[in-house]
């Protein structure tokens, strides 16, 4: 049996035909912001999904259903976009489930992208075989998903797992969400870059300017043993661990998977998170806890959406 997986992000929509085992047979990617969202993303999806199916000679009747991973606050019960954190025009209110099922006469499930990535890692990635998982993606912001007893935690409407937005400092910096001291303001790659920019004038090195600073350069400097950058990295990792300690105590997971560009840094990042976390959580909580980097990269959302679809259908049948 085959499924259509759709991963809708802020810049592109990805398609894949996915088997019951999670194998991706064909894929395609289309821009969704080619005219600054004047064409609503959902219109682009309705059009380009048909183009994708035509291009590979697959008809909707051959498919069992459609699983959608989507950016924004997604009401998974209704399958609509209920809120948009950043400013994507014409996206809030999009009736993803209704429009896609009308066009293809297939069942459709829609879940937030962070939650899909968590499910993807549980199905086929480094959280495979684990029942209680915290998945965290570190990039320009911090996203994630929480799996409790094999099920993604959706909350009342599907918004749960916004782990970038619990506060670790009530006196902290303002966040776009309206709160103060949100975790992603300290634990994102953006935060790391800002922290490094602050110490840059203290480093005698004319090789680069503030504008050159990015995640990769920071880790390259750390590998060279630049002491001030290493110190900043260490402080930043404490912030990352800060949030994880709370999540471990609340959810008692057996697995934490960390994704995003920085997660490829095994020794300088993943290993350090593991050891700092181990020092800071209550001893009973670390007995069966593993900390790994995410394995699926940018395919996690696509397969995670299909895994959710399969789980829902098993429950219903």
Helix/strand/coil percent split, the chain, to 5: 45, 25, 35
With contact defined as beta carbons under 8 Å apart, do 306 and 3 qualify? yes
Query: What is the Cβ-side half-sphere exposure of residue 189, based on CA atoms within 13 angstroms?
Result: 22
Rounded Cα gap, residues 167 and 185, in angstroms: 9
For 234, phi then psi, to 5°, come to -65, -40
Of 177 and 217, nearer to Zn ion (C-beta) is 177
Instruction: Say if residue 149 is exposed, middle or buried (CB neighbours under 10 Å; 0-12, 13-18, 19+).
Output: exposed
- The helix or strand, by DSSP H or E, that contains position 154, with its residue range, turns out to be none
Of 177 and 264, nearer to Zn ion (C-beta) is 177
Question: Least Å distance between CB 94 and Zn ion?
Answer: 23
What track of x and - describes contact with Zn ion for positions 174 through 193 (by CB under 5 A)?
Answer: -x-x-x--x-----------
Residues 118-137 that bind Zn ion (CB under 5 A): none
Instruction: Candidates 14, 165, 274, 293: give the one binding Zn ion (CB under 5 A).
Output: 165
Question: Least Å distance between CB 243 and Zn ion?
Answer: 12
Of 165 and 274, nearer to Zn ion (C-beta) is 165
Question: Least Å distance between CB 73 and Zn ion?
Answer: 13
Assign residue 153 a region (left: φ > 0; alpha: ψ between -120 and 50; beta: otherwise): beta
Question: Least Å distance between CB 313 and Zn ion?
Answer: 34
Of 26 and 73, nearer to Zn ion (C-beta) is 73
With contact defined as beta carbons under 8 Å apart, do 254 and 126 qualify? no
What track of x and - describes contact with Zn ion for positions 58 through 97 (by CB under 5 A)?
Answer: ----------------------------------------
Of 175 and 268, nearer to Zn ion (C-beta) is 175
Classify residue 107 by its DSSP letter: -
Q: Give the number of residues in contact with Zn ion, rule: CB under 5 A.
A: 5
Question: Least Å distance between CB 184 and Zn ion?
Answer: 7
With contact defined as beta carbons under 8 Å apart, do 117 and 7 qualify? no
Contact region with Zn ion (CB under 5 A), list: 7-15, 55-63, 69-77, 171-179: 171-179
Structure token digits, residue 66: 């459609």
Contact region with Zn ion (CB under 5 A), list: 6-14, 169-177, 193-201, 280-288: 169-177
Binding site for Zn ion (CB under 5 A): 165, 175, 177, 179, 182
């Amino acid at each position: 049996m085959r499924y259509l997986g759709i991963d809708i992000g802020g810049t592109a929509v990805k398609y894949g035909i996915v088997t019951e085992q999670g194998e991706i047979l064909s894929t395609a990617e289309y821009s969704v912001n080619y005219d600054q969202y004047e064409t609503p993303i959902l219109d682009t999806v309705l059009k380009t999904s048909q183009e994708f199916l035509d291009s590979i000679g697959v008809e909707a009747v051959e498919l069992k259903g459609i699983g959608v991973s989507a950016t924004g606050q997604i009401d998974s019960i209704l399958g609509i976009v209920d809120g948009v954190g950043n400013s994507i025009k014409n996206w809030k209110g999009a009736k993803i489930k209704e429009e896609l099922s009308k066009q293809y006469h297939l069942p459709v499930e829609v879940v937030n992208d962070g939650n899909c990535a968590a499910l993807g890692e549980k199905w086929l990635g480094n959280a495979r075989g684990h029942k209680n998982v915290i998945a965290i993606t570190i990039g320009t912001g911090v996203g994630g998903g929480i799996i409790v007893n094999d099920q993604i935690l959706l909350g009342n409407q599907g918004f749960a797992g916004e782990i970038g937005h619990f506060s670790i400092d009530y006196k902290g910096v303002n966040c776009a969400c309206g709160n103060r001291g949100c975790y992603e303001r300290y634990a994102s790659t953006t935060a790391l870059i800002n922290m490094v920019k602050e110490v840059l004038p203290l480093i005698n090195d004319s090789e680069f300017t503030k504008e050159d600073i990015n995640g990769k350069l920071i880790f390259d400097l750390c590998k060279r043993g630049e002491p001030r950058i290493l110190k900043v990295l260490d402080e930043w990792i404490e912030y990352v661990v800060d949030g994880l300690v709370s999540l471990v105590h609340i959810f008692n997971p057996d697995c934490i998977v960390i994704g995003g560009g920085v997660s490829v840094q095994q020794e300088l990042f993943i290993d350090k998170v593991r050891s700092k976390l181990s020092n800071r959580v209550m001893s009973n909580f670390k007995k069966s806890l593993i900390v790994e980097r995410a394995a699926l990269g940018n395919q996690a959302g696509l397969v995670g959406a299909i895994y959710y679809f399969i789980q829902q259908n098993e429950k219903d049948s």
